[in-house]
Amino acid sequence: MKTKSSEISTVIIVNKNRQQTLHFKTKHLSHLKHYGLSILAVILLLAGAIVYLRSQNQKQEEEKTQLLSQITKLKGAIPVYAQQQKKEMNAQAYVQTIEGKLQKINDYLRKRGLKGFSIKAVGGNGNAEGAKLSDDETYSLYSDYLSNLVHTVAFTPMGYPRISSLTSFFGYRSDPFNSAHAEFHPGIDFRGAKGDEAKCTASGRVIFTGWYGGYGNCVRIQHANNFETLYGHLSYISVKVGQDVTLGQKIGEVGSTGRSTGAHLHYEVRKNGKPVNPITFLTLNN
C-alpha cells in the first residue's frame, strides 16, 4: 500500500558540510506532546523519590546521632553506678561467673565421657580464718581457684579416648603371643573395630606420629604438668607433629597395627616420661 504524501513529514538538517533529510510519519508529531509530558512526569517522580529518600536518610542520621549521644552518656554513668552498686551486685555477678566456669568444666568432662558435677552451695567453709576475709577477698580466692580448676581439667589427661569396654589393664599380664610368659603392659586397651574414632583426652601438642615399634601406628601428645598420652595400634592418623589439639578432638582411628592380636586402642598416660595407671584418670573419684 502506498503512503500518501500528507502522511509523511520531512525534516531537513543543514550544516556547513552537508545536508541531511529525515522522513517520518506525520502522526508522530501529534504524539510529541504526549511523549514530552510522559518524560517530564518520570523526571518529576524520580526527583520526588530522591528528595524523599534524602529526607529519610537525614532523619535516620539524626536518630543515630541521638542514640550515640545517649550511649555515650550511659557509658560515662556506668563507673559511677558500678561503684555505688558494687556491694549489692557483687555477689550476684560473682555467682554468674562461677556458673559459667562450672559449665565449662562440665563440658570438658562430658567430652571425656565423664559425668559432670555440681556445687550445691558457694561460699566459705565456715572456719575462723575464712570469716576474717572480706567479700572481695573471698570472691577473688574462689575465682582464682576455679580458673585453675578449668585449666587443670582442660590440660590433664582425664576420661576415655573412646567409650567402650576395657580388654586389658595396666600392669603385668600374660603375653598374648605366648601365654607361658608374662609381660608388663604400660597402658590399658579399649575394645574397638577398625575405623572407630580415637580422641585425645586433654589439650596439648602432638610430639610424635608414625610407626613406633610394637605400638604400630602411634600418636603421642604432650600436655601441661609433664603429662603425655600415647595412642597405639592405629589404622589411621589424623594429626601431625607440632599440631595443637584440644580435648575430645579426633587424633586417629582404631586399628591393629604393630604387635597386636586384633583391632583395639592401646592408651597410655605418662608422667615425667614414665607410664602411670590410666585407670586413675578415667574418673574424678579415683
For 6-45, how does the pLDDT look when each residue is reduced to its tens digit (9 = 90+)?
Answer: 566 565 555 666 666 655 565 555 666 677 777 888 888 8
Check: CB of residue 118 under 8 Å from CB of residue 69: no
Q: Give 253's DSSP letter.
A: E
| pLDDT given at position 260 | 92
Indicate if the alpha-carbon torsion angle 99, 105, 109, 111 is positive or negative. Answer: positive
Residue 279 has pLDDT above 80, yes or no: yes
Residue 221 has pLDDT above 80, yes or no: yes
User: pTM higher than 0.85, yes or no?
Assistant: no
Same domain, 204 and 234: yes
pLDDT band at 235 (very low <50, low <70, confident <90, very high): very high
Nearest to 219 by CA among 166, 261, 258: 258
pLDDT digits (tens, 9 = 90+) for 138-197: 667 767 767 777 777 777 888 889 888 899 999 988 877 877 788 899 999 999 999 999
Same domain, 130 and 201: no
Indicate if the alpha-carbon torsion angle 169, 170, 172, 176 is positive or negative. Answer: positive
Distance of alpha carbon 83 from the chain centroid: 35
Range of the domain at 127: 85-155
Same domain, 142 and 186: no
Residue 269 located in a structural domain: yes
Check: CB of residue 202 under 8 Å from CB of residue 271: no
Nearest to 283 by CA among 94, 102, 141, 157: 157
Same domain, 172 and 277: yes
Instruction: Domain count for the chain, please give it.
Output: 2
Same domain, 268 and 177: yes
Same domain, 199 and 98: no
Instruction: State what percent of residues in the chain have pLDDT above 70.
Output: 62
| pLDDT given at position 205 | 97
Could you give the CA distance from residue 280 to residue 277 in angstroms, rounded to a whole number? 6
Residue 80 has pLDDT above 70, yes or no: no
| pLDDT given at position 105 | 75
Span of 11-20, 68-77, 101-110, 122-131 with lowest mean pLDDT:
122-131
Residue 113 located in a structural domain: yes
> Which CATH number fits the domain that encloses residue 216?
2.70.70.10
| pLDDT given at position 273 | 92
pLDDT band at 268 (very low <50, low <70, confident <90, very high): very high
Residue 39 located in a structural domain: no
Please tell me the chain's helix, strand, coil percentages from 3-state DSSP, rounded to the nearest 5: 40, 30, 30
Same domain, 187 and 249: yes
| pLDDT given at position 2 | 47
Could you give the CA distance from residue 237 to residue 190 in angstroms, rounded to a whole number? 17
Return the C-alpha torsion angle 250, 256, 262, 265, nearest 10: -30
Residue 222 located in a structural domain: yes
Residue 4 located in a structural domain: no
pLDDT band at 277 (very low <50, low <70, confident <90, very high): very high
Return the C-alpha torsion angle 147, 110, 283, 222, nearest 10: -70
Residue 97 located in a structural domain: yes
Residue 175 located in a structural domain: yes
Same domain, 185 and 146: no
Amino acid, single-letter form, for residue 194: K
Mean pLDDT of the chain: 77
Same domain, 197 and 236: yes
Look at the block and give the residue holding cell 615425667.
272
**Burial per residue of 162-180, b for 16 or more beta-carbon CB atoms within 10 angstroms, e otherwise:** bebebeeebeeeeeeeeee
Residue 57 has pLDDT above 80, yes or no: no
Check: CB of residue 241 under 8 Å from CB of residue 220: no
